[in-house]
């Protein structure tokens, strides 16, 4: 026991004093910052400039009207966020109840219409100005997603058969992202086809926007024909308001809560994978290094193979825990710097995932996962004589270990479905999948059955690794082939030296 502890301590010190450890510790916050900042940097972009050739004569205006509403909606949303941080809302509510109401529900069509009717961005900013907090920052208007540009003459007067060529020349100029051609018969006699020219058809935002605007215009035309009194009616702006409820949770109406409740297990499982693979790889390298320097022989003269393997495992778990603690602190620190409310939300989500019932299981799955991956890597290390040898075994092993990552989205779509229930019983992957599923309340039989399976797998692999380590750590032969590997594993189980 004492020797296992001493070896664990030495392993811990050896790993945490390596440059690689510091780099991995630093890389995570940098990675998080990039993940957080890139969407911000790219939030205003890309801005798509387009033009319309409306040969039907009445649809360009409809698209531009929708464009104006789209800009107004973005302005109103941005103003709502700005007001939450910079305006004394209670005073605003008393003095400007209408504006306050718009800012509270900025996403409804009715609010957008009212916003446009009351002077838009400038009108709202003027109305807010007396209620700004002393620390208020200036408002930064969001950049429009789409910008309409007048069509160049070569498009305006291009005959239909040459239009594609003319559109290509216009797009090649780089000034326009897309050209929309509305034919003369559009909206007549069931003709509802427009032509959309763009150099990148995979970016469909503008196309979706234009299609929506034209659909609205067509619907209004129908209305104009059959119920003209309704065309400009407020009734058309009615939308369904949905109040969401999750009866399994107290006071949970927000879909964001449920999203975070799903994201947190994914994050935990992915962290398990990253930390396991990172540290288990170091474990493998350590064993290969000890084999190549013959330090392993000194260790074996001082301690039993079981003490050495368990010491190494404990050392790696300690490194993994330290890594997670530092990463968590860095993550929460960065979140607090960026937006303090996010920290509360994540804590709430963690609280809903790691409850009194599930926390012990989450920890158990985490440690089992770490030990399973660690055992596999340690066994590989004890069978390899050099890093090159280890790599030949590591590649296929990594493919096998990475498999669960490919199933995350499928599992999370239906955490208690057939696929999730089935793969949870695959011994190597049980801890990973059950971490993903535990917050979704899988059936008790599955929870306890897979927990027992995870524990049994972990115990077996630790025992098996001890045997493989004892039998192979002093050999200097070439690493085995896949068939040889399986044969060795089987023989190790039976307790025989290969």
Q: What are the residues binding another protein (CB under 8 A)?
A: 2-3, 6-7, 10, 14, 17-18, 289-290, 292-295, 297-304, 474, 497
CA atoms within 13 A on the CB side of 56: 24
Report d(CA 300, CA 281) in Å as an integer: 22
Smallest distance, another protein to C-beta of residue 494, A: 15
Q: 296 — alpha (psi -120 to 50), left (phi > 0) or beta?
A: alpha
Q: Are 276 and 431 in contact (CB under 8 A)?
A: no
For residue 408, give both structure tokens.
Answer: 């995350």
For residue 42, give both structure tokens.
Answer: 């790219």
Of 229 and 301, the one with the shorter C-beta distance to another protein is: 301
Smallest distance, another protein to C-beta of residue 301, A: 4
In three-state secondary structure terms, 375 is: helix
Quote the Cα angle for 369-317-400, to 5°: 35
Of 60 and 291, the one with the shorter C-beta distance to another protein is: 291
Of 219 and 497, the one with the shorter C-beta distance to another protein is: 497
Of 17 and 190, the one with the shorter C-beta distance to another protein is: 17
**Segment 477-481 long-range contacts (CB within 8 Å, at least 24 positions apart):** 477/385, 478/385, 478/389, 479/383, 479/384, 479/385, 479/389, 479/390, 479/392, 479/393, 480/383
Q: Are 176 and 151 in contact (CB under 8 A)?
A: no
Of 19 and 140, the one with the shorter C-beta distance to another protein is: 19
Smallest distance, another protein to C-beta of residue 285, A: 13
In three-state secondary structure terms, 76 is: helix
Of 95 and 298, the one with the shorter C-beta distance to another protein is: 298
Nearest to 412 by CA among 427, 428, 432: 432
Smallest distance, another protein to C-beta of residue 290, A: 8
Of 441 and 496, the one with the shorter C-beta distance to another protein is: 496
Tokens 């997670």 locate to 324
Of 79 and 299, the one with the shorter C-beta distance to another protein is: 299
Smallest distance, another protein to C-beta of residue 305, A: 9
Of 201 and 298, the one with the shorter C-beta distance to another protein is: 298
Smallest distance, another protein to C-beta of residue 462, A: 20
Q: Are 382 and 472 in contact (CB under 8 A)?
A: yes
Q: At what angle do helices 120-128 and 59-86 cross, to 10 degrees?
A: 20
For residue 295, give both structure tokens.
Answer: 């330090």
> In whole angstroms, what separates CA 124 from the centre of its chain?
35
Of 154 and 289, the one with the shorter C-beta distance to another protein is: 289
Smallest distance, another protein to C-beta of residue 475, A: 9
Smallest distance, another protein to C-beta of residue 353, A: 40
Smallest distance, another protein to C-beta of residue 474, A: 7
Report d(CA 34, CA 310) in Å as an integer: 38
Of 368 and 473, the one with the shorter C-beta distance to another protein is: 473
Smallest distance, another protein to C-beta of residue 18, A: 8
Q: Are 394 and 284 in contact (CB under 8 A)?
A: yes
Q: What are phi and psi of 46, to 5 degrees?
A: -85, 140
Question: Which residues lie closer than 8 Å to 279 by C-beta, 6 or more apart?
Answer: 15, 316, 319, 320, 323, 370, 374
Smallest distance, another protein to C-beta of residue 26, A: 20
Q: Are 317 and 412 in contact (CB under 8 A)?
A: no
Smallest distance, another protein to C-beta of residue 344, A: 43
Largest CA distance in the chain: 96
Q: 381 — alpha (psi -120 to 50), left (phi > 0) or beta?
A: alpha
Smallest distance, another protein to C-beta of residue 14, A: 7
Report d(CA 447, CA 347) in Å as an integer: 24
Q: Which helix (H) or strand (E) holds 372?
A: helix 358-383
Q: Which helix (H) or strand (E) holds 180?
A: strand 178-182
Of 293 and 328, the one with the shorter C-beta distance to another protein is: 293
Is the bond into 443 cis (omega within 30 degrees of 0)? Answer: no
Of 287 and 411, the one with the shorter C-beta distance to another protein is: 287
Report d(CA 347, CA 345) in Å as an integer: 5
């Amino acid at each position: 026991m004492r020797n296992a502890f001493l070896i664990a301590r030495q392993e811990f010190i050896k790993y945490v004093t390596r440059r690689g450890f510091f780099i991995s510790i630093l890389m995570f916050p940098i990675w998080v910052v990039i993940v957080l900042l890139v969407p911000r940097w790219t939030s205003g972009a890309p801005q798509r400039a387009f033009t319309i050739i409306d040969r039907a004569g009445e649809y360009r205006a409809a698209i531009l009207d929708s464009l104006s509403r789209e800009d107004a909606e973005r302005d109103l949303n941005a103003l709502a966020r700005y007001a939450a941080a910079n305006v004394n809302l209670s005073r605003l509510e008393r003095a400007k109840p209408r504006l306050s109401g718009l800012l509270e529900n900025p996403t409804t069509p009715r609010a957008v219409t009212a916003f446009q009717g009351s002077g838009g961005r400038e009108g709202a900013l003027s109305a807010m100005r007396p209620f700004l907090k002393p620390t208020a920052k200036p408002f930064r208007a969001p950049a429009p997603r789409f910008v309409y540009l007048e069509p160049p003459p070569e498009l305006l007067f291009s005959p239909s058969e040459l239009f594609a060529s003319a559109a290509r020349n216009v797009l090649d100029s780089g000034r326009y992202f897309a050209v929309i051609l509305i034919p003369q018969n559009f909206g007549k006699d069931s003709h509802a086809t427009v032509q959309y020219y763009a150099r990148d058809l995979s970016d469909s935002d503008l196309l979706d926007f234009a299609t929506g605007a034209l659909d609205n215009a067509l619907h209004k035309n129908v209305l104009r024909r059959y119920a003209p009194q309704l065309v400009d009616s407020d009734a058309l702006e009615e939308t369904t308001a949905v109040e969401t409820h999750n009866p399994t949770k107290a006071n949970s109406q927000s879909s964001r809560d449920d999203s975070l409740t799903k994201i947190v297990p994914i994050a935990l499982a992915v962290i398990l994978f990253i930390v396991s693979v990172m540290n288990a790889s170091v474990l493998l390298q350590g064993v290969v290094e000890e084999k190549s320097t013959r330090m392993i022989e000194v260790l074996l003269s001082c301690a039993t193979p079981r003490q050495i393997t368990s010491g190494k495992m404990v050392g790696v778990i300690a490194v993994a825990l330290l890594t997670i603690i530092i990463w968590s602190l860095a993550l929460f620190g960065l979140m607090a710097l960026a937006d303090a409310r996010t920290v509360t939300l994540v804590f709430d989500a963690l609280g809903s995932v790691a409850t009194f019932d599930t926390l012990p299981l989450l920890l158990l799955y985490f440690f089992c996962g770490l030990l399973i991956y660690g055992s596999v890597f340690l066994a590989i290390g004890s069978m390899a004589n050099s890093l090159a040898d280890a790599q030949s075994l590591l590649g296929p092993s990594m493919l096998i270990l990475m498999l669960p990552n490919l199933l995350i989205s499928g599992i999370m779509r239906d955490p208690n479905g057939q696929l999730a229930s089935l793969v949870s019983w695959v011994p190597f992957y049980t801890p990973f999948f059950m971490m993903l599923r535990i917050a979704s309340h899988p059936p008790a039989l599955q929870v306890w059955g897979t927990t027992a399976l995870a524990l049994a797998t972990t115990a077996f692999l630790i025992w098996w690794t001890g045997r493989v380590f004892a039998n192979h750590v002093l050999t200097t032969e070439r690493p085995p082939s896949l068939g040889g590997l399986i044969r060795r594993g089987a023989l190790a189980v039976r307790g025989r030296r290969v």
